Amino acid sequence: MPRALEALDHVVRRLEHGELSALEAIDAQENRLVFARQRQGRSSIAGNFESSGVPSPPEPSSRCLRN
């Protein structure tokens, strides 16, 4: 959490000095979130392959069970 507060403080300072517009700040934040989610997704996929060599198949849906 301290690192997030430092990043926020830096962005606020840049906004106050006119170095960054509000729209640019929002866009930069969205890009960071997308990259973080991609990294998180890759690590969970890699974890599935490393544990058993093959990812587990999806659970059957209730629609498949009725047939």
Tens of pLDDT, residues 13-28 = 999 999 989 898 888 8
pLDDT-based confidence at 50, cuts 50/70/90?
low
Helix (H) or strand (E) holding 21: none
Six-digit token string for 33: 């979130």
Give domain limits for the chain: 6-54
* Whole-number pLDDT of residue 16: 93
Ramachandran bin of 53, using left for φ above 0, alpha for ψ from -120 to 50, beta for the remaining angles: left
Position 48 pLDDT exceeds 70 = no
> In whole angstroms, what is the distance from residue 19 CA to residue 2 CA?
23
* Whole-number pLDDT of residue 29: 80
